[in-house]
Amino acid sequence: MLNPISLAFKQAKYEKRPALLTYTVAGDSSKKQSLEILKAISNYADILEVGVPHNTPVADGGQIQTSAYRAIKNGIKMNDIFKIVRDFKKIKNSKPVIFMGYYNMIFQYGENNFLKKCKKSGVNGLIVVDLPWPENKIFSKKCKKNSINFIQLLSPTTSNKRLESITKDSHDMIYYISMLSTTGGKLKVSPKKILANYHKIKKISPKKNCVIGFGITEKTISNFKNTDGLVVGSQICKEITRSLNNRQNPVINVSKIVSKLRKKIS
């Protein structure tokens, strides 16, 4: 049986479009509201990345930092984040959920405990921003044993040799960082160049689902229609901030954006 993540890619491929992955921060702006946002956007998104907020993020730009600090300030704890996923999965059991965060949160929870809890709550995959290959070898094996997808990251600075080793050690999904940037940067590289790198990865590893993230927004997304999947994060976080500042309902506004994104690639 295919795992939910691979199934989501298969379904999108069947519909001849890339899978849409969204990123929102757990607990932004509150536990309840972030669950409502997940429920609402899951009508349009294929895979939900749930950000585990951390207060010394070394790879996140302003928008996601703002969301993360807001969530932490409102008291979000690791166990609350697991609960959000569990509650979400009660309603949408088949929708894949991926955690994205920094290693210290896993390290403090204990790797084994963390994975056990992931499994129990229904987390299907993990992206650990600051646990690169080969440092992640042991942990990614542990993930596999627990049927959790450990998603390896690739970037424009990744050498060909590394690329081969990393894809070899990767599970069903890989994540290509489109450019040298923190999250939320403007797309400073031409889509053509990004796609060339994407195809290089696909050539080495044709069976793995490769998604592109960083700099993907409503404006840029339609350039990448012929890919396995696309991640939008900062634009969504920004919309939450904007809605809160204008005293509007972020749940409605964010789901509008995600529905638009979906239309652009359908």
Q: Which residues are designated catalytic?
A: 49, 60
Among 41, 115, 123, 129, the residue binding other proteins under the rule CB under 8 A is 129
205 binds other proteins (CB under 8 A): no
160 binds other proteins (CB under 8 A): no
Nearest approach in angstroms of CB 89 to other proteins is 22
CA distance 56 to 217: 25
Residue 210 φ/ψ, nearest 5 degrees: -110, 120
59 vs 204, beta carbon nearer other proteins: 59
107 binds other proteins (CB under 8 A): yes
Q: Which residue has the tokens 């590394």?
A: 162
135 vs 164, beta carbon nearer other proteins: 135
Q: Which residues pair with 25 in a beta bridge?
A: 51
CB 176 within 8 A of CB 209: no
CA distance 182 to 115: 27
Residue list 73-102, contact with other proteins (CB under 8 A) = 77-78, 102
155 vs 259, beta carbon nearer other proteins: 155
Q: Which amino acid is at 266?
A: S
Q: Give CA separation, 219 vs 6, 23, 55, 170, 232, in Å.
A: 27, 17, 29, 30, 11
4 vs 156, beta carbon nearer other proteins: 156
Spatial CA neighbour of 23 closest among 220, 191, 254, 252 = 254
156 binds other proteins (CB under 8 A): yes
For other proteins, how many residues bind (rule: CB under 8 A)?
A: 40
Q: Which range touches other proteins (CB under 8 A), out of 21-29, 128-136, 192-200, 237-245? A: 128-136
189 binds other proteins (CB under 8 A): no
77 vs 199, beta carbon nearer other proteins: 77
180 binds other proteins (CB under 8 A): yes
- 215: phi > 0 → left, psi -120 to 50 → alpha, else beta; which? left
204 binds other proteins (CB under 8 A): no
Among 26, 154, 232, 258, the residue binding other proteins under the rule CB under 8 A is 154
Residue 186 φ/ψ, nearest 5 degrees: -70, 145
Nearest approach in angstroms of CB 263 to other proteins is 30
145 vs 161, beta carbon nearer other proteins: 161
Q: Which residues pair with 126 in a beta bridge?
A: 99, 150
Residue list 19-78, contact with other proteins (CB under 8 A) = 54-61, 65, 69, 72, 77-78
155 binds other proteins (CB under 8 A): yes
210: CB partners within 8 A, 6+ apart? 173, 174, 175, 176, 198, 201, 202, 227, 228, 229
CA distance 100 to 151: 10
181 binds other proteins (CB under 8 A): yes
Chain residues binding other proteins by CB under 8 A are: 54-61, 65, 69, 72, 77-78, 102-105, 107-109, 129-135, 153-159, 162, 177, 180-182, 185
